[in-house]
Structure 1
Amino acid sequence: MVHAVDATVADLADRLWRAESERVAVPPLTADVPDLTIDDAYAVQTRNIDRRIDSGAVVRGRKVGLTSRPVQDLLGVHEPNFGVLLDDMFVDEGDEVVFDSLLQPRVESEIAFLMGSDLAGPGVTTTGAMAAVAGVLPAVEVVDSRIVDWRVRIADTVADNAASARVVIGARMVPVEEVDLRLLGVLFFRNGAPIESGAGAAVLGNPARCVAWLANKLGSFGSGLRRGDVVLSGALHRMVPVRAGDCFQATFAHLGSVTVQFSEGRS
């Protein structure tokens, strides 16, 4: 017997699946299902991630979103959310991101963590999270909404895998104890011109808190972080819209820089 909730989850997952594969954004899921819960939204996310894993994708980490207090207040939520990073989302620095493989991409500078050991809640503290991290790296996340015009509520974002799309990681990894994550600054450039800046304190006051939150949240689902996972800890500045042919560079204090180039042509 198929329950109504199961049928709804399956239908909403199919909408997002088609939106990504056909590159046609869909109306907000919450427009049709205004009482869509966060738990149901994670069920939608999981359904589509499982489909991709069944097709050969491999989980390589997680991203944490909604780590800014003002953004949380705007959406009426009191904690971050997370999405799953798969191997085919990672782009080597120097390789182009095909612009027309995405719908409405935006970019953000982020501090990435490479896990040195497994980590799962409950009870993970910021200090415990730092002890489990092998190092920190500079990163640019390419986010993309399968919801038309980014007209999202929190449940839409969670269901849409937290708007995950592509990740570019810099080449230099620094031991976590060698930097003050709160004060770690970044300048963000588009086509050589500085357009944004930020610091680690923008994400819950300390990016390592995001790793601790994620480990505890995953623990509530019976899961956790694994050694070798990459964790993106949240945007250090506002999302920046992308145009075909754009080149972005995030230059971090202590971590060096990372660059992402978007193609001009079609895939």
Structure 2
Amino acid sequence: MSIDVNALASKLMHARKTREPLESLVPVGTPTSIEDAMRVQQEVMRRRVAQGERIVGFKLGNIAKAMQSKFGVDQPDFGYLYDSHLRYENHRLTSDQFLAPYVELEPAFVLKQDLGGAHVTVADVISATDYVLPSLEIIDSSIKDWKIGIFETLADGASVGGVILSSQPRKLTDLNLSDLAGEIRINGEVVASGNTSAVFGNPVSAIAWLCRRVAAFGVSFKKGDVILPGSCLAAVELVPGSQVVGSFAGWEVGFEYVKAD
């Protein structure tokens, strides 16, 4: 039995719009595949673009073992970033904007030229990168209580809810992304820590892997795109009343998360 791509896309978009999570995306035992999930994700993408949103990049998630253990998804996910995902640094975000958010830290790559295809190398990624920024990604599932597998998170656009980019660009030549310590602090207390080496050995390699993986679905990246390679630490649940700061050795980005009025 094949899945109903249009119906699942409608369910996911309704959940995001109303902030009412789905009990499940498909009934237990329904045969699904990665290809099915991407068909749903790309139908959602077509609808969002038709409604006026703009694709501004792409994300890779669940690449680090810490993230796979956190949500029980044992392989990477990936999905589109839209202009509506990008939020402002050092501003307030409110609880009515999300369903069940968590926050994670990763370096964001911004491209100075197009990048993509089934044969992309680390050297290609380096050549295509304009600069790197600290970023905090808010992950947020449309499925109640994060009861997800790879099908659910891929269909749901890799569970992305928002992205906060720093305004402190650095060149790749100024960074050692194979060994860069990072941490998240909430209200001044360190609540999670990790190292960029957990992101496929090096986030540059993770992006090369991503390019090759998504080429099968006709996805490639454009000049100016923001590419997220995955978190270097386990995601932290967001609770209202939190001042959140992500830091790579003083290279920081932050926001405030508060309860909606």
- After TM superposition, the score normalised by the length of structure 1 is 0.91
Alignment of structure 1 residues 80-95 onto 2, 5 Å: 80-95=76-91
Question: Is the Cα contact below 8 Å between 1:30 and 1:155 reproduced in 2?
Answer: no
Aligned amino acid, residue 73 of structure 2: L
Alignment of structure 1 residues 240-255 onto 2, 5 Å: 240-253=236-249
Distance 2:233 2:173 in 1: 24
**Alignment deviations for residues 160-206 of structure 1 (CA, whole Å, 9 cap, x no partner):** 10001100001111111221101111121011111111111111111
Of 187, 203, 213, 1:217 maps to 213
Superposed CA RMSD: 1.7
Distance 1:144 1:75, change over 3 A: closer
Shift of 1:123: 0.8
Unaligned stretches of 5+ residues in structure 1:
none
Matched, 1:260 2:260: no
Distance 1:189 1:69, change over 3 A: closer
Distance 1:36 1:152, change over 3 A: same
**Alignment deviations for residues 65-122 of structure 1 (CA, whole Å, 9 cap, x no partner):** 1202465585344xx2211100011011122112111100000011110111101111
Distance 2:98 2:254 in 1: 18
**Matching residue of 1:27:** 23
Matched, 1:152 2:152: no
- Identity percentage of aligned residues: 31
Report SS of the residue matched to 1:237: coil
Distance 2:258 2:215 in 1: 39
Aligned length: 259
Unaligned stretches of 5+ residues in structure 2:
none
- After TM superposition, the score normalised by the length of structure 2 is 0.93
Question: Is the Cα contact below 8 Å between 1:108 and 1:235 reproduced in 2?
Answer: yes
Shift of 1:32: 4.4
Between 138-147 and 171-180, report the one with greater CA deviation: 171-180
